[in-house]
Amino acid sequence: MQYDTKTRRAYNADPVSCAECLNCVKYCPEHAVDVRTYADFAPLGMRLGVIRDTKRNIIYWRIMYRDGTIYEFASPIRTTPWGSARGALDIPPREDLDSELLAMEDNPEYLGFPELPRPRQTIRVVGSLMRYKQTVESLKSG
């Protein structure tokens, strides 16, 4: 989106690069962005309304089909207040720079395992699927 200082209006300056992510529509505080979807394949007449409420953390959609049918949808967007997420420095430090464990993984609940998983059994087969299968079969037969 570019802002034209003469008309004091914004416009889509590069439509061929537009992925129709609708972020300009969702984020405009005045709800002033209208959408006409791609000329290549979209017949005219569809209308869209969207309100992304970051206080109640719900997004509301209203879609009108070319034939006039209207559907309305609402779905949650976040379970915590905006600004509340912990950054790296808000998490207690650890000294094990040499281990393969990442942040929070000293806690088995976060890791999902009592300790960092390593392959239960390892093999070394170089190359084709046939050779791999033969090796696995011989392992199974003991």
Partner 1 sequence: MNFPTKIVDTDILVVGGGMAGCGAVFEAKYWCRNKCKVTLVEKANLEKSGAVGMGLSAVNTGTFTADPDDPKPEDFVEYVRNDLLGIAREDLVYDVARHMTSTIKLFDEWGLPLWRDPKTGKYIRTGRWQIPVHGESYKAIIAEPCRKSADEVYERVVVTHPLLDESRPNRIAGVVGFNVRDGTFYVFKAKAVIVAAGGTSLLYRPRSVGEGLGRAWYPTWASGSGLAIPILAGAETVNMEFRLIVIRFKDGYGPVGYPYLLLKMRSTDVRGRQWEPLPEEAKAELAKIFYDYAYAKPTPTPIRTWVTIQNLKEGRGPDLMQTQEKLPDMESFRLLFEDYLDMTPSQALCWASQNIHPQKTPSELMPTEPYVQGSHASSSGMWASGPPDIAPPEYRWGPNRMLTVEGLFGAGDVVGASGHKFSSGSFTEGRIAGKAAARYVLTTAKDYTPTISNDTIERYKEIVYRPLEWYHKNKPLTTTPEMPPQLTNWFEVHPNYLNWYQLLVRLQKIMDEYAAGWGMFYTTNTYLLNRGWELLHMLEEDFRYAAAASLHELLRVWEFYHRLIVGQAVVYSMMNRRESRGYYLNADYPYIDEENWHVFTHVRRDPRTGQWSFRTSPVIHIIP
Tell me the number of residues near partner 1 by CB under 8 A: 88
Q: What residues between 71 and 110 interact with partner 1 by CB under 8 A?
A: 71, 73, 75-91, 93, 97-98, 100, 102-105, 109-110
In the complex, minimum distance from the CB of residue 55 to partner 1, in angstroms, rounded to a whole number: 13
CB of 30 or CB of 69, closer to partner 1? 69
Which helix (H) or strand (E) is 108 found in, with range? helix 108-111
In the complex, minimum distance from the CB of residue 142 to partner 1, in angstroms, rounded to a whole number: 13
In sequence order, what are the residues at sequence separation of 6 or more whose Cβ sits closer than 8 angstroms to the Cβ of residue 122? none
Q: From residue 99, how far is each of 42, 106, 115, 141 by CA, in Å?
A: 54, 10, 12, 36
d(CA 111, CA 101): 9
Return the structure tokens found at 25.
Answer: 């529509």
d(CA 107, CA 130): 41
* Binding status of residue 8 toward partner 1 by CB under 8 A: no
Q: What residues between 10 and 69 interact with partner 1 by CB under 8 A?
A: 13-23, 27, 35, 37-46, 48, 52, 59, 61, 63-67, 69
**Contact residue for partner 1 among 2, 9, 28, 56 (CB under 8 A):** 2
